[in-house]
Every structure is written in structure tokens, then in C-alpha cells.
Structure 1
Amino acid sequence: MKQRFLFLGNQCVAVTLAFVTSPAYSVTLETVLQTTLERNPAIQQAKSGLQQAAGQRLVFRSVAWPDVELGVPAGVQGGHRAGESGTKGFAVGRGVLTQTLFNAGLPASLRRGDVEVLIAQQQLNVAVVDQLHAARLAFYSALYNRSLEFIRREQQRTLQENVTTQRTRLEAGLADKSALASATVQTSELDSQIESAHRAYLDAQLQLALAMAIDPAKPSLPEAEGELQSAPIRVDLDSETAGALQRRADVKLARLFVRAANEDHRIIAANYYPAVTGSINGEYVPVTGIHRQGSTSRTQDFIGSEIRERAAYTWRVIDNGKVGGAVLRARSAREI
């Protein structure tokens, strides 16, 4: 609660203003940083992105892994052929193993998976740095504006005493009205400065609550505990600039994005070259006399268990610019 003095003609009117603030609880800078690190939504989202990147890394590395398919077709076989009798059940075990033997994009795909995880880790670092910095600034801003509001109120109290003194002198005939008016105006000028400092303090409290993942609608908001102190430091611009280029998390993240774009370009350009895959097909038939689908004679039926190996060689010679266009698009994205 505070008083505002207005000078109207020969009268000085005191107007009382009441400010209603939400109850608050004190927090130290260490508590603010720890809570922000544990509960801040942006940091939590970056942690989830790290888990997603680990899964995406498996996708990139799956190109080098074999692909295995297993199946057990079963059913009932009917009909009559020479030398056969009646209806009987059957089951056939099938398995297919496919392995990439040569792919020009395989090394780039493996590296791209590793870079994906590095990008997610660096994005987490960027989120941590940004959010902790925002929390620290909100904490310092709260301390500064609270101190500023206190100083302005002390100045106003002193000026109010001066107004009282000038009024007494005016009543005693020792001063004129201009002195009282000047003192009153000086006192009134501080009202806007006090209100501005108070609003800035409330805004700092709000930013502090958001950084700590505290619902602003709650009746209590965090209040910075401590006093703001400053100390002179010397900064070498050249050395700090060089160090920032090496240490800053956002600069490291930008370098990783460039690496990822280069690997994407290599993966796409690998389609210019041939690819070789090998496969092993196996069939296990526990009984005899089982017909293959669409067979018309015994020579086409399952004779027994068998394993077949083969290798396939694929080289896209004409693609009507599909690969070239994708390479140009990836190159332009990298240069941007």
C-alpha cells in the first residue's frame, strides 16, 4: 500500500493506492537452476528427442544388417492323383535370409546414424544452456527490480518528508507555494517509476515460474532470495570470440547439421552405383507328397527339404533424372 500526493490549487490531497500481490515463496539461484534442469518443458522435449534419435540411428544402421523372414504355411490338401489317396494335412517351414553385400551408401548411412544421435545430444545441450540462461536472467531481473523498487520507495519517503516540511514552512509563512508545489511534483514523479519497477518485478517472477515449469495460475510464485552484487571483470574480445566459436553449443549444432547434410548427399548419390545383395532360401518339408501352389505334376511338388543360395546385382542405368534431381536438391539444402 502506498500514498500518492496530488496538488490541487491550495490543497494537497493524499490518495491511497493498494496493490494486491500473490503470496510467494523464496528460492535461491541454485534451486532455480536445479528445478529448471529437472522440470523445464523445453529440456524435457529435448530429452525425448534424444531417445527418438537413438531409434532413428537403428533405422540408418539397419541397412547393414541381414533381413530374415520365417514362415510356416499349413493346411489341408485334397484331390486325387495317381498313387495318392484321400485328404491329408501338411505344413512347410520356410526361411529367407537376405544380406547386403555391396552398397555404396552403406558407410554414409552408418555415419549418418551416429550424427543423428550427436545432433540430438547437442540440441539437448542447446536447450539446457538457453533455459538455464533464461532462468538466471529472470532471477537476476527479479533481484534488480525488487531492489530498484525499494530504492524508489525510499526516495519517495524522503520526498514526502520534504513535502511535509514545505507545507509546515508555508503555514508558518517561511516559504511560498512554489516550493510546496515543486516538492509535491518531485514526489509524484516517482510513482510511475515505482509502478514500472513493480511491474518489471512481477514479470520477472512470471518468467522465473515458466522456466521452473510452475503454473502461473497458482496462488504462489517464486521469489528470488538474496541480493544482487556485481564485480568488474576484464574481457578480451579476440580470445573470447575464438573460445565461443569452439565452445558454444549452437555453433557445434550448426556444424553437426552440415555433417548430416553431407552424409545425406552421399546416401542419395550412392544410387548412381550398383548394389549387390545375397540371399539364402530354405524349405523344410516334414512329409512327402505335398504339392506346390499351381503345380500340375509330381516333378513340380516338394520333393524334400532344400536350401538355395543366390546373389542379385542391381544397377539403375536410366532413371530419367530421378537420382540427379534428388542429389541437386540435397546439395542445395546443404548449401543453404
Structure 2
Amino acid sequence: MKSIRFAFALGGASLLSILSGAQGVTLEKLLQTTLEKNPAIAQAKASLEEAAGQRLILRSIIWPDAKVGVPGGVQGGHRAGESATKVFGFARGSFIQPLFNAAVPPSRRRGDVDLLIAEQQLNIAVVEQLHAARVAFYTALYNRELQSIREDQRQRLEQTVASQKDRYEAGLTDRSALTSATVQARELDPQIEGAHRACVGARLKMAEAMGDDLAPGASPAEAEGELQFAPMIVDLNAETAAALKRRADLKLARLLVRAADEDERIIEAGYYPAIAATVSGEYIPVSGIHREDSTRRTEDISSEIRAGAVYTWRVVDNGKVAGAALKQRAAREVNELTCRKLEANVGRELLRIHNDLKTIEDRQKSLAAASEA
């Protein structure tokens, strides 16, 4: 769908220019309002903020993990030499800093790619919504002008019908001429109605693109301007190279390939060991306590700090990591094929656009020659 929209956008932009009027919705105002209020663009902007948060989550494995707890309470009851009720409490904390983790580099890159993907999705949303608004604007102008032309044709045919009726009543012609003229005039009625409906539908599309909330019975804004034909010469080689470099959907496809590759590397990090430095401690504001791991009956110093390193390595995989890696590799290969297919279609799409432009230009020259004759 993206490639088709791109083709129509290029064709429409090359064939039509706008002469803006003084009132109503001009093309410039339509595009500006669409950028500011279109729901799809607003949602893509929100997704960009979400991607920024997801990048922080992916990078969290790099940073240390520190925890502090302060358990406390009230102890009641009667013991010899002690008060009936007393308050107790102590503090404990831990600090863990990863020293080696094979998932850290791909996680950093994956977070960056996520943000780039969200940016390209925003670019695609902007391109698609602006294209839809532009096409709706052109469609409204085209069908309004078509309706006006058909109405002029119907008016001339009705004059012909009146003339044929007078001639028939005067006995100067037979009834077939009157019938033929009447049929030709009535054939324009559905065409005029169709052009009117298409114009109203295009105006509704414009309101939808601008995010307008139309009240019941409200009429959408009119498109202000006129259509003029402007021939355009397309350099296929230059346009193909530019499209391969600038098109947002191609950039997104390449980023999806990178993201799948980084996901595979994150999964494969399970093959390697992980090393982390740890520091833990406890503070107890009393002395003379007994610890389970101590060889002495009591400890004069009740608080302690411990430091060391933790080393973990999955020696036997049992297929969990290998299976997930194979699955992710298949997803990456699918993304690569899709990306290559999109890149290969660019030249064919531009060639079709070039041929369409040539056909339209030849048709316009024929119409201009017929009008002058």
C-alpha cells in the first residue's frame, strides 16, 4: 500500500498546481492543520515517546541495581529485665553491578534502533496523512469543476431539447430528434450527481485528515483553488536513486532488519557467562546477637558488609536458547526479503509513473488541440 500511495503522490504533485482563493480551506492550511491535529500523526508522536522509554528499559541491564530496606516493628510481651513493649528495627542493602554480559552491546543498539523505527513510523504517518489530505483536496476541486462542466453541458442540451421541441411542434422535424436530445440531456443527470457526491466525499476526507469533529448536519469546508495542468519530465535514474535513499518505508524496512539482527544477538547472549560484582550489608543497632553462619555464640559487632562477585553460565542449553535464536533468525530473513522486494519495486513503480505522466500529457495536448479547433 505504501508504494501505491507514493506513486499517486508523485503523480498528483507533478500534474496539479493550486491557485488559492481568498476564503475556505487552501492546500497550505489543510496540510498545516493536518500536521497539527491529525489523530494518526498524534498517535505516531506518542509512539515515539514510548520508544524512548523502551530504550531506557533495554539499557537498564548496563546500570547497577541498588536496594535498601529498613524492616522494623514493635515487640510486646513480658521478659525478665525488659520493658513490656519496645520498638526494634534494622537496615539492609545490596548493590549489584554487571561486569560482563554479552547482551549489553546488542541491547544498547536495539534501544537506538527502536527509537529510529518510531521516528520512521512517524515519518510514514506524516507522509501518508499529508498525501491523503492532498489527494482529497485535488479530488474535491476536480469533481467540483467536473460538476460545473456537466451542468453547462446539460444546460446547452436542454436548450437543444427546447429547440427540437419547437421544431417538432412546428412540424419541421420528426419525434426521434426530440427524443435523442432529451435522452442525451437526461444522461448527464447521474454524472452530475456522481460528481457532487464525490466532491462532498472528498471534503469529508479533508475534514477527517484535519481532525475536525463535525457536528450533526454540519457541512465540511470547501476546497479553495483551481486546477491547472503542469507537464513534468522525470529522470528515472535520478529519481530511483533519490527514492532508494529518502523513502521512509524503505528506511523502516532496513531498520526492521537491524532490529531483528540485534534481537538475535540478545538471545544468543545466553550462550555466554554473566559476571556481576555484588556488595551487601546489614546494620543492626544492637550487639550480642547470634548469626546462623557464625561459629561464635554471640557477635559483639552486629553490622556487616560483604563484597564479592557472582558468576553464572548456562552449561547445558536443552534447546531453549538455540530454538529461540533459530526462530529469530527466520524472522530476520523474512525482513531482509521484504526489504529487498521493496527496493526492487522502486524502479518499476517510477517507470509506471513516468508512463502515466506521458499518457496524461498526450491526452492533455489532444484536448487542447480539440478545443482550439
Please report the TM-score for the alignment, with normalisation by the length of structure 2.
0.78
My pick for the range that moved more, 39-48 or 142-151, is: 39-48
Residue in structure 2 matched with residue 20 of structure 1 by the alignment: none
Distance 1:76 1:226 in 2: 81
The answer on whether the counterparts of 1:295 and 1:301 sit within 8 Å (CA) in structure 2 is no
Structure 2 CA distance for aligned equivalents of residues 295 and 270 of structure 1: 36
2:50 equivalent in structure 1: 52
- Indicate the structure with greater helix content: 2
Q: Which residue of 1 aligns with 2:163?
A: 165
The aligned residue for residue 35 of structure 2 is 37
Amino acid at match of 1:53: A
Look up the equivalent residue of 1:97 and give its one-letter code.
F
1:164-185 Cα distance to aligned partner (Å, 9 max, x none): 1111122222222222111111
- TM-superposed CA distance for 1:230, in Å, is 2.1
The residue number in structure 1 matching 2:245 is 246
Trace 1:172-211 onto structure 2 (pairs within 5 A).
Answer: 172-211=170-209
1:1-336 mapped onto 2 (5 Å cutoff): 26-76=24-74, 85-86=81-82, 88-216=86-214, 218=216, 219-290=218-289, 299=297, 303-336=301-334
> How many percent identity over aligned positions?
62
Q: Would the aligned equivalents of 1:156 and 1:190 in 2 still touch at CA under 8 Å?
A: yes
**SS state of the match for residue 229, structure 1?**
strand
Q: Distance in 2 between matches of 1:137 and 1:114?
A: 35
Q: 1:302 to 1:48 in 2, by over 3 A?
A: farther
Separation in 2, partners of 1:192, 1:80: 100
Instruction: Please tell me the root mean square deviation across aligned C-alpha atoms, in Å.
Output: 2.3
Instruction: Find the residue that maps to 1:122 and give its secondary structure.
Output: helix
Amino acid at match of 2:263: D
8 Å contact kept, 2:136–2:206: yes
SS of aligned partner of 1:268: helix
Q: Report the Cα distance in structure 1 between the residues aligned to 2:319 and 2:199, rounded to whole angstroms.
A: 61
Deviations 1:58-102 (A, max 9, x none): 100001000000011223567999xx9425533222110001000
Secondary structure, counterpart of 2:60 in structure 1: helix
Checking the alignment, whether the CA contact within 8 Å between 2:147 and 2:196 is kept in structure 1 is yes
TM-score where L is the length of structure 1: 0.86
**Counterpart-to-counterpart distance in 1, 2:40 and 2:152:** 40
CA contact (8 A) 2:288 2:302 kept: no
| SS of aligned partner of 1:254 | helix
Larger deviation, residues 323-332 vs 282-291 = 282-291
Q: Deviations over 1:254-279 (max 9, x none)?
A: 11111110100000001000000111
Please list the CA deviations of residues 180-204 of structure 1 after superposition, one character each: whole Å capped at 9, or x if unmatched: 1111111111112111111111211
Q: Which shows bigger deviation, 180-189 or 271-280?
A: 180-189
Task: For structure 1, list consecutive stretches of 5 or more residues without a partner in the other structure.
Answer: 1-24
Which structure is larger by alpha-carbon Rg, 1 or 2? Answer: 1
1:118 maps to amino acid: L
Q: Find the residue that maps to 1:117 and give its secondary structure.
A: helix
Deviates more, 1:235-244 or 1:125-134: 235-244
SS across alignment from 1:223 = coil
Runs (4 or more) in structure 1 with deviation over 4 Å come to 76-81, 294-298
Q: How many Å separate the matches in 2 of 1:302 and 1:228?
A: 94
Mapped partners of 1:100, 1:264: distance in 2: 20
Say whether the 8 Å CA contact 2:289–2:298 is kept in structure 1.
no
Structure 1 residue 38, shift from structure 2 partner: 1.2
150-159 or 32-41, which deviates more? 32-41
Q: Are residues 80 and 188 of structure 1, via their aligned partners in 2, closer, same or farther at CA, if it must alter by over 3 Å?
A: closer
CA contact (8 A) 1:279 1:310 kept: yes
Number of aligned residue pairs: give it.
Answer: 309
Q: 1:6 is matched with which residue?
A: none
Indicate the larger mover: 25-34 or 270-279. 25-34
CA distance in 1, matches of 2:31, 2:293: 74
Query: Could you tell me whether the CA contact under 8 Å between 1:73 and 1:91 is conserved in 2?
Result: yes
3-state DSSP class of the match of 1:203?
Answer: helix
What is the CA-CA distance between 1:290 and the residue it aligns to? 4.7
Give the C-alpha shift of residue 116 in structure 1.
0.8
Give the number of the structure whose residues are more often strand, by fraction: 1
